[in-house]
Amino acid sequence: MPGWAGVSPWVCAIFGSFLNQCLLQETLIDGGQPTFITTNHASERLLAGKSQNMNVKILNIIIPPIAGIVTVLGILILINMIFQGGSVFHTPDNGFFKYFVPFTLAMAILIQITLVLPFWNKFRSGQKILKLSLIPFTMLIILISGLAFGFVFWEKQFGWTELVATSLTGIIAFAVYWTVNLMILKRFHRTLL
């Protein structure tokens, strides 16, 4: 019977070694020189009390995407319950909770590692991306992502109204996701560093 047990090894196989490499590279050890950490060095770091940097990296990679996705799912389920009588619980979900949500979570973590954290560090240091500061850049990403969501999930037989409704849903979902994600990153930056 496929389910979470079938998805988890797939996700681990794709992202396990990549996540491990990203977390372990460029960590400062004695003398402030960037180096790759092996399992031999990891035990030395723990004994030396320098594991906080690794813990902060793990928290910044895992918690914001999970919190953002859970918040968006909660809102989408609430919208479904209000406007469609909770049909998500009464009809087959076509693999949404089994396949799409774990895939989305894996992609969100990958995007967090490869794009969000490097961009976050640039914005924190006062740099701009595409000549935009954090809020305008995030608004542009929300708009582009929401419109792309609308086109991908548009059911053409329902017409242009469906495209507008789906695009607005996507824009709202991405706005919630990025707001939660960035607020948690900001909170972690203030309290953990």
| 20 domain-assigned | no
Residue 5 has a pLDDT of: 41
142's tokens: 């929300």
| 25 domain-assigned | no
Mean pLDDT on 90-108: 80
As a whole number, the mean pLDDT across the chain is: 76
Residue 160 has a pLDDT of: 92
Higher pLDDT, 100 or 161: 161
For residue 4, pLDDT over 70 is answered with no
| 64 domain-assigned | yes
| 23 domain-assigned | no
| 156 domain-assigned | yes
| 90 domain-assigned | yes
Domains held by the chain: number: 1
| 2 domain-assigned | no
The whole-angstrom separation of Cα 181 and Cα 193 is 17
| 132 domain-assigned | yes
Q: What is the pTM of this model?
A: 0.69
Given a contact cutoff of 8 angstroms between Cβ atoms, the answer to whether 91 and 147 are in contact is no
Parent domain of 167: 52-192
**What are 136-165's pLDDT values in tens digits?**
999 999 999 999 999 988 888 888 999 999
Higher pLDDT, 105 or 36: 105
Neighbour count for residue 150 (Cβ, 10 Å): 19
Given a contact cutoff of 8 angstroms between Cβ atoms, the answer to whether 191 and 174 are in contact is no
Q: How far is CA 105 from the centre of its chain?
A: 6
